[in-house]
């Protein structure tokens, strides 16, 4: 029994929506969860729904492929129905939050509710900030309509004249940018109030200025946006580099087929019909129509002005790892013992400092790193440039196919190359998704390696809200395997690993053997269990093996944040499997696995989920954890999360998203706050120990 991947993902996004509905969550954070939900759904439509539409349109398939096509055709109506249901909940939640915000003195007003002072402010703001960015264009039945970009918001404008023939139509793009934000704070209409207006409504107020040259009896504007297929298609010209193909592919993606048109349901029928006709390229293959509300692209709610800090989630400050002292050498600490960093509880600055120290240390000869998603103004990139300028041999494996970050990665690759860094743009046919650093340093007449194996991106921005592990070690076997991974990527040398689990080579088979060993032990009457944490669990072979383990009596505890195709609690199949999902202020991104192994636990962290793409089509790296103190740390992390009875949901009833009772105790456990206290206490104990 397998849950459909796409439906399971929508069930996950409904858990995000639950956070917006939860009145125990600070008010403005609830608004931001609406933005997260909207952003998630946009990407889902552009990627997963678009892929199913393409699959459903294919003809002449082999019998083995026809089943997938049938499944795509059958599931699409279910996805649309689920999304429509979620959208209704979203709209109701949005209106409820706006009402609560108004009670708190934060008012979102439109152009019809402005005071005289606010009207003047909006007119001045349009003139000084917005007008220079405006590019309105007329839409006629007899002319080609300019291209409507994915990710942009538009106003469809109708200028009604005295006769039908004198009616005109136009489209205006809402020019949202960092310099022209979606939300604008207005002068207060009363003492103690904070009034906010959508940029959309400032433009509505100024329509008469934009179209002053036309005569009309009335003018109206309604929002619309186009969601396009996000697939990148690259040509097979062997004379072009991957970077050149990617640059062209990104441009072409902006012109992908429209998958969905979302529009204000109050839009006049004649205007909507004209726009749809212009956007429908092939008969029968037009985009789906989604009637919505006045405002679209609600992902911008994530950037709503922080006008009331007291109504925001108060995040604890990241902690310094107790073994990494201020102004002390991280290389020296790691030379003596392993260090496990857990973000965002520990500061990501430790990773930056590790690279900066390696960049300037005279004994460091080379630095290798894999990059998938980096920050906009990346300190990691700056550290690597500094290393190259200091004469180090720096090799960066830059994955150009990181979806929606391709453009930034191409730009960084160019900057690094110009600084003297050797940039490798991935491996043909495989995405490089592992999170790996290797520093090689001259010591005692030889070379010693220092490795970092992580679960999350080298991105100081997302590290503030993504929960991830990172192991710093100089264990010889792990270092040698890390070098082997970089050698394979750079020169395709055969890969042989003694310690690291590397997909698509030995990771799947290693996990399969670990599960089979638990099955053997369970059949012998020995203790057998598996505890694992993933973003997603969708690989059919791994799920079937977990079902087999459950039938053999292996106790399986899984924490899965996102899509989960495994159905727990089914008699005769998965009654020994329990799955929970945690959605909270931090995005649970860390992956780990614990196997009983006959009482000699084997513990791993890894960059891979148990998804087919991760285990078979990407280069992923997992590492065993040997340090006993760190092993205890990881056990505690899993225990606290497994006992979460505030933010955890039980996945036994598919689609229900019922909150979990944790371990059944009466004491409340919100695992993310509990983890911060756990690490804070560890830091205090280390400080006291050092003071003795």
Annotated active-site positions, please?
Answer: 433
CB 307 within 8 A of CB 101: no
Q: How many Cα neighbours within 13 Å face the side chain of 65?
A: 9
| Of 514, 524, 409, the residue nearest 459 (C-alpha) | 409
DSSP bridge partners of 368: 395, 438
d(CA 671, CA 160): 58
| Strand boundaries in 528-631, DSSP class E | 529-534, 555-560, 577-582, 587-588, 592-595, 602-606, 618-624
Phi, psi of 238 (to 5 degrees): -70, -10
d(CA 576, CA 579): 10
d(CA 180, CA 127): 12
Q: Which residues contact 254 (CB under 8 A, 6 or more apart)?
A: 149, 150, 228
| Of 25, 14, 15, 20, the residue nearest 673 (C-alpha) | 25
**369-380 b/e with 16+ CB inside 10 Å = b?**
bbbbbbbeebbb
How would you classify the pairing of strands 435-443 and 364-371?
Answer: antiparallel
Lateral strand order in the sheet of 218-228: 137-138, 168-174, 153-160, 218-228, 258-264, 288-292
Find where tokens 């009335």 sit. 218
Instruction: Give whole-number Cα distances, 96 to 20, 108, 109, 292, in Å.
Output: 10, 13, 15, 17
């Amino acid at each position: 029994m397998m849950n459909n991947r796409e439906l399971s993902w929508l069930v996950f996004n409904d858990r995000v929506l639950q956070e917006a509905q939860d009145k125990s969550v600070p008010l403005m954070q609830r608004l931001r969860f609406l933005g997260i939900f909207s952003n998630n759904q946009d990407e889902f439509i552009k990627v997963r729904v678009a892929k199913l539409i393409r699959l459903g349109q294919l003809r002449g398939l082999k019998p083995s492929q026809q089943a997938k096509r049938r499944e795509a055709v059958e599931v699409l109506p279910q996805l649309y129905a689920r999304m429509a249901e979620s959208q209704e909940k979203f709209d109701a939640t949005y209106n409820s939050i706006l009402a609560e915000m108004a009670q708190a003195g934060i008012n979102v007003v439109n152009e019809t509710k402005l005071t005289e002072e606010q009207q003047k402010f909006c007119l001045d703001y349009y003139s000084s900030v917005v007008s220079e960015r405006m590019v309105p264009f007329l839409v006629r039945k007899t002319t080609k309509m300019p291209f409507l970009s994915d990710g942009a918001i538009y106003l469809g404008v109708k200028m009604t004249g005295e006769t039908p023939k004198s009616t005109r139509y136009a489209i205006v793009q809402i020019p949202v940018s960092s310099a022209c934000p979606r939300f604008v704070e207005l002068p207060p209409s009363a003492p103690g109030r904070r009034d906010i207006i959508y940029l959309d409504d400032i433009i509505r107020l100024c329509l008469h200025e934009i179209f002053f040259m036309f005569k009309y009896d009335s003018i109206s504007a309604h929002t619309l946006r186009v969601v396009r297929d996000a697939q990148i298609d690259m040509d097979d010209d062997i004379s072009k580099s991957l970077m050149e193909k990617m640059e062209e592919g990104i441009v072409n993606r902006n012109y992908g087929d429209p998958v969905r048109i979302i529009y204000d349901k109050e839009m006049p029928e004649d205007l909507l019909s004209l726009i749809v006709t212009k956007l429908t390229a092939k008969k029968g293959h037009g985009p789906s129509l989604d009637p919505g509300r006045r405002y679209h692209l609600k992902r911008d709610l994530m950037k709503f002005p922080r006008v009331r800090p007291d109504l925001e989630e108060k995040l604890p400050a990241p902690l310094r790892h107790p073994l990494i002292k201020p102004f002390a050498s991280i290389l020296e600490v790691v030379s003596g013992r392993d260090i496990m960093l857990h973000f965002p509880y520990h500061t990501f600055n430790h990773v930056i400092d590790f690279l900066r120290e390696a960049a300037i240390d005279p004994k460091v000869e080379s630095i290798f790193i894999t990059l998938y998603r980096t920050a906009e103004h990346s300190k990691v990139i700056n550290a690597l440039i500094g290393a190259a300028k200091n004469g180090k041999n720096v090799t960066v494996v830059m994955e150009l196919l990181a979806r929606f970050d391709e453009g930034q990665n191409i730009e960084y690759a160019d900057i690094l190359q110009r600084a003297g860094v050797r940039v490798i743009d991935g491996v043909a046919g495989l995405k490089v998704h592992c999170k790996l650093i290797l520093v090689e340093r001259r010591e005692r007449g030889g070379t010693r390696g220092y490795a970092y194996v992580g679960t999350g991106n080298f991105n100081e921005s997302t590290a503030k809200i993504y929960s991830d592990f990172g192991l710093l070690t100089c264990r010889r076997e792990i270092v040698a395997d890390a070098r082997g991974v970089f050698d394979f990527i750079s020169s395709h040398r055969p890969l042989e690993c003694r310690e690291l689990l590397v997909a698509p080579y030995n990771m799947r088979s290693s996990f399969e053997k670990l599960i089979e060993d638990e099955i053997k032990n369970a059949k012998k009457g020995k203790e057998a269990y598996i505890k694992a944490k993933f973003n997603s669990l969708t690989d059919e072979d791994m799920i079937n093996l977990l079902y087999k383990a459950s039938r053999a009596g292996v106790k399986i505890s899984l924490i899965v944040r996102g899509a989960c195709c495994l159905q727990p609690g089914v008699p005769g199949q998965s009654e020994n499997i329990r799955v929970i999902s945690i959605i909270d202020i931090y995005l649970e991104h860390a992956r780990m696995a614990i196997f009983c192994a006959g009482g000699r636990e084997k513990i791993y962290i890894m960059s891979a989920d148990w998804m087919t793409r991760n285990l078979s089509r990407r280069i992923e790296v997992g590492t065993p954890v040997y340090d006993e103190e760190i092993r205890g740390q990881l056990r505690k992390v899993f225990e606290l999360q497994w006992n979460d009875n505030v933010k955890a949901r039980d996945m036994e009833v598919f689609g229900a998203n019922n909150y979990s009772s944790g371990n059944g105790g009466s004491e409340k456990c919100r695992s993310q706050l509990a983890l911060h206290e756990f690490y804070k206490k560890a830091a205090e104990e280390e400080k006291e120990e050092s003071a003795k």
